[in-house]
Amino acid sequence: MSIADRPAPGTARSPGISYQELLDTDTHEVPEVLRLESPRYFGSQDMPVERYTSREWHEKEVKYIWSRTWQFACREEHIPDVGDYTVYEIARMSFFVIRTAPDTIKAFWNSCLHRGRQLKEVDGNCAEIRCPFHGFAWELDGSFKHAPSDWDFSHVTERAVDGEFQLPEALVATWNGFVMINPDSDAEPFHEWAADAVDHFQRWDLSDRYVEAHVAKVIECNWKISQEAFCESFHADTTHPQTAAYLGNPNSQIDVFDSCSRVITPAGTVSPMIWYEVDEEQIMRAMMDTRVDEDIPFDIPEGDTARQVAVRAARERWRPVVGELADHWSDSEMIDNFDYTIFPNFHPWGSYNRIVYRFRPNGDDHRTSLMEVFLLSPFTGERPPPAPLHLLGPDESFTDAPEIGMLGKVFNQDLGNMSKVQKGLEGSKKGAVTLSDYMESKVRWLHYMLDEWIGSGEQAETGEGTAVTL
């Protein structure tokens, strides 16, 4: 192909069947939210490795990202009763989210106003908020209650009468069963800030789910490296070769909206990267993770496709739980992958997918991160209690968490890359990362958003523009 014949930057697409073309074959009505296409070209320039390796960049993220953005702290079912609380930590900041009344949830900065000790260390329930150090106490709503030896703290008592000495709060919002918090008291309301995602997920109600599994592991890489491994499907044919026979990884549709982005990866279709013929039985065998010496669980009638059979099986599997929705939703919603990212680090999947990811720095360490996966499952009858956190140790892998099933194998393949990316960037002579224009545009979007938030924060402080660039 000559230079003159090359498509404009950001417009090239995989030679395989596109996601929209696959939707044209759907046996049910396709919702408008899946017909949306919002590609965005962010330029083709490289990104400096310092974004992943430098302490200076981490400090900017702490100051302008983690201190100012909405973040997924817990699910509402984690704190079902009055007095239930859970601890959420990000970088150097610690909060506890507590149900103060049947319909009220608050988030407090996790620091005693007396000598600064953390008020809560582990999840639990309390009738009051009392510091374990000296016994200063607050009501559940954060109002000051009592100071031991109050004869020596008349100045505190006087301030409390005037409404002072109240525990400082972070903003709280609830959405689809998630409890979101924001340390910035002047932040835009969550439902306005995440308007695109709020609109998209009106079709997919995640509030009527329960946490069937919650698994986490410390990864030896910057949080963006671990997150970016789940922001594109381009890597899958190489890192997860077993998926190429049933996932159209390079054919994924990437969409960027104002404060969220998504990758839609079609299932039951062969990756164009495969150079050999793959029949429908092989597609089904790969989808079901069935060995060659085992029978596939579903027959494929003549003239049928593995995708169609898988869709029908998914409808039967979900019908007892979701009722008539199983007969009305599109084929795509039954089996395709919808990985949304709400900036900066929240990954709820759409449709019947159960996956939710959360990525964050491991404490204040910019060279390690905490990767978490939640499985949100529908239920009938009374809501089951949420699964406790299963924190994997340094010598454990994701296959040591059987509750996430075959995902463990996939995550372990990702683990083989992430720490090696960190090491490679630390010793890079090139000093930069090169990304594709379309398939990795969700990664570029993340850095574009980081630039926007860091740049606007610095500009607000100095009154001058900044040189933060991709």
Query: 17 burial class (0-12, 13-18, 19+ CB within 10 angstroms)?
Result: middle
Q: What is the pLDDT of residue 3?
A: 59
Which residues of the chain have a pLDDT value below 50? 467-470
Neighbours of 37 (CB within 10 A): 11
Q: What is the pLDDT of residue 14?
A: 92
Q: What is the pLDDT of residue 291?
A: 77
Q: Report the predicted TM-score, pTM, of the whole model to 2 decimal places.
A: 0.94
User: How far apart, in whole angstroms, are the C-alpha atoms of residue 309 and residue 331?
Assistant: 10
| pLDDT tens digit sequence for 216-238 | 999 999 999 999 999 999 999 99
Q: Are 59 and 458 in contact (CB under 8 A)?
A: no
The owner of tokens 């601890």 is 87
Q: What is the pLDDT of residue 467?
A: 45
The owner of tokens 């990304």 is 435
Q: What is the pLDDT of residue 120?
A: 98
Domains in the chain (CATH in brackets) are: 3-44+208-451 (3.90.380), 71-192 (2.102.10.10)
Half-sphere exposure of 345 (CA within 13 A, CB side): 28
Q: Of 377, 405, 401, 379, which is closest to residue 389 (Cα–Cα)?
A: 401
Question: HEC profile for 195-250?
Answer: HHHHHHCCCCCCCCCEEEEEEEEEECCCHHHHHHCCCCCCCHHHHCHHHCCCECHH
Interstrand relation of 93-101 and 104-109 (parallel, antiparallel or unpaired) = antiparallel
